[in-house]
Amino acid sequence: TTQRTLVLLKPDTVRRHLVGEVIGRIERKAGWSIAAMDLRSLDQDTLEQHYGEHKGKPFYEPLVEFMASGPVVALVVEGERVIEGVRALAGPTDPIAAAPGSIRGDFGTIVRENLIHASDSEESAIRELKIFFPGLS
Ligand code: CMP
């Protein structure tokens, strides 16, 4: 099943110069491709749309502040089962619980600053791709 997913390399990844490292891991998966990519700063409206489901949770405000603290790299990745696959490369949300070998397990310590976002389902991927890459066919 060929799919597309939205990936965000969070501001910590850009600040720590781990963009190449993380993209390298995604790129090396057989048959996966980058369909679109750019470095951008996220405005409040975009963040509210993207993280709407978390509004009201205690981590929401600091999360939005963090995601606006510097540029992110937004990517569309396509290929065989990429939705599940990028999440497997990333590891679980909490980097301390994430296994070494995963992106979060190798590089993260703080739950909020967990390096990467990847859509969690086909439904989320469609919704999030529309927010970040509205022009994509
Ligand atoms: P992600 O799963 O990509 O999307 C929601 C984000 O909220 C998550 O990554 C973390 O960056 C952040 N997050 C989730 N749970 C917590 C938490 N308990 N404390 C701080 N940040 C969190």
Half-sphere exposure of 74 (CA within 13 A, CB side): 19
Output the CA angle 60-125-132, nearest 5 degrees: 70
pTM: 0.97
Q: What is the pLDDT of residues 42-88, one digit of tens each?
A: 999 999 999 999 999 999 999 999 999 999 999 999 999 999 999 99
Q: What is the ipTM of this complex?
A: 0.91
pLDDT value, residue 93 = 98
Pocket test for ligand 1, best of 93, 104, 110 (most atoms within 8 A of CB): 93
Q: What is the pLDDT of residues 14-46, one digit of tens each?
A: 999 999 999 999 999 999 999 999 999 999 999
Q: Is the Cβ atom of 37 under 6 angstroms away from ligand 1? A: no
> What residue spans of 2-137 are helical by DSSP H?
11-15, 19-27, 44-50, 60-67, 82-90, 103-107, 122-132
Residues of the binding site: 10, 59, 87, 93, 104, 114
Residue nearest atom 21 in ligand 1 by C-alpha distance: 112
**CA 39 / ligand 1 centre spacing (Å):** 21
Q: What is the pLDDT of residues 79-129, one digit of tens each?
A: 999 999 999 999 999 999 999 999 999 999 999 999 999 999 999 999 999
Residues of the binding site for ATP: 10, 59, 87, 93, 104, 114
Q: Is the Cβ atom of 92 under 6 angstroms away from ligand 1? A: no
Residues 6+ apart with CB under 8 A from 112: 59, 62, 63, 66
Which domains can be identified in the chain, with CATH numbers? 2-132 (3.30.70.141)
Give CA 94 to chain center in angstroms.
Answer: 14
Separation CA 55–CA 123 (nearest Å): 19
Please state the φ and ψ torsions of residue 47, each to the nearest 5 degrees. -65, -35
117 given a catalytic annotation? yes
**CA 111 / ligand 1 centre spacing (Å):** 6
